[in-house]
A and B are shown apart, each in its own frame.
Chain A
Amino acid sequence: MLRQLKAPVLQISETRGNPVETFSRQTTPIGRVVRVQLPVGSFTWHRPVAVEVRQGETVHRLPIHDTTSRAISAIVLTGLATVLVPLVIRTILFRRRKTS
C-alpha cells in the first residue's frame, strides 16, 4: 500500500518576483505565502511584504504596508472597544451593587 508523505498543516514561505533593473538599481519585490492544508480543504494567502533595492554593494528593504486593512482593523477594534468597555464597566458596577 502506498503511503503519501504528510504535508505540514501550516506553511509560511517567501516568494521573490522578477528583479527589475533600472538606473543601475535592482529592485526585487518580495511576497509571503501562508498556506493552511487540512484533510478537508486548503487555504492559500499570498501578499506582498517588501521591496529589496540593491544598488552596488548596498541593499535596503522597503516595507509594503496594507493601508486599507490597517484602517479597517482600526475601525473594527474601535467599535468593539466602544461596545465592550462600557459593557464590562456596567457588569462590574451591577455586581458590586448586588453584593453590597
Chain B
Amino acid sequence: MITEEKAQAPLVDPTGQALSQLVTTARADTVFGHPVERGDTTVIPCSEIAVGMGMGSGSGPVDEKGNPTGGGSGGGGGARGRPVAAIIITKEGVRVEPIFDLTRIVLASLTTGAFMLFWVGRFFFTKPSGKGPSFSQFKRTIGS
C-alpha cells in the first residue's frame, strides 16, 4: 500500500515548480506574444503578467521532553495576466493600439459608485457629534 502511494507521488517538487514559474514570468516571451502576420500587417500582442506566492510555517510550544507540541505550514500563490496593447506594424509605420477593458472599467465604476453613495449618504444623514446611521437606517432612507 505504501509502495503504491510512493509510486503515485509527484516526481517534481511543487515549491520548485512555483519558483521556476516565477523565473519564467520574468522572460520577455511571456509578455510579448508571437508576431502575427496578415498581408502587409504584423501584430505583436502585449500583455501584463503578475505572479505572486507566499509561504509560512509555525510551531507550537515545546513540551517537557523538548519536543514541539504542534506545528504547521502553508503556502499559496496566484497569477494574473491581461492584454494591454497591440503593436501594429504596417508599411506606413509602427503604432501602438491600447486594449480597453470595458468590463473592468464598468466594475470599478460600480464599486466606486456604491462606495461614494454609502459615504455621501452617511455624510448627509449623520449628526456631527455622534455616530452615523447604521447601514439598515441608511438603506431605509435611500429607499423612502
Contact B108 A31 (CB under 8 A): no
Taking the closest CB of chain A, its distance from the CB of B38, in whole angstroms, is 12
Contact B100 A40 (CB under 8 A): no
Contact A79 B112 (CB under 8 A): yes
Contact B54 A40 (CB under 8 A): yes
Taking the closest CB of chain A, its distance from the CB of B16, in whole angstroms, is 14
A66 in complex: contacting residue of B30, B48, B89, B95, CB < 8 Å: B48
Given A17-B32, A20-B89, A48-B32, also A86-B48 (CB < 8 A) = no
Contact A33 B115 (CB under 8 A): no
Contact B50 A15 (CB under 8 A): no
Contact B26 A48 (CB under 8 A): no
Taking the closest CB of chain A, its distance from the CB of B79, in whole angstroms, is 9
B31 in complex: contacting residue of A17, A23, A43, CB < 8 Å: A17
Contact A17 B28 (CB under 8 A): yes
- When distances are taken between beta carbons in the complex, the residues of chain A under 8 Å from B55 are 40-41
> Once bound together, how far apart are the Cα atoms of A44 and B53, in whole Å?
9
B106-130 interface bits toward A, Cβ cutoff 8 Å, 1 = contact, 0 = none: 0011001101100110010000100
Tell me if B104 is interfacial: C-beta within 8 Å of chain A: yes
A54-86 interface bits toward B, Cβ cutoff 8 Å, 1 = contact, 0 = none: 000000001111111001100110110011001
* Residues 9-61 of A contacting B (Cβ, < 8 Å): 13, 15-18, 20, 22-23, 25, 27, 29, 31, 33, 35, 38, 40-48, 51, 53
A-B contact pairs, 24 of them (CB 8 A): A15-B27, A15-B28, A20-B89, A23-B91, A31-B31, A43-B51, A43-B52, A44-B50, A47-B31, A47-B48, A48-B84, A51-B94, A53-B93, A53-B94, A62-B95, A63-B96, A68-B84, A68-B101, A72-B104, A76-B108, A76-B112, A83-B115, A90-B128, A94-B128
Known: A42-B54, A44-B52. 15 other contacts (CB 8 A): A16-B28, A18-B32, A40-B56, A42-B22, A42-B53, A45-B49, A48-B32, A48-B46, A48-B48, A51-B94, A53-B93, A53-B94, A67-B99, A75-B108, A79-B116
- Among all A-B residue pairs, the 5 with the closest Cβ atoms: A41-B54, A79-B112, A17-B32, A48-B46, A67-B98
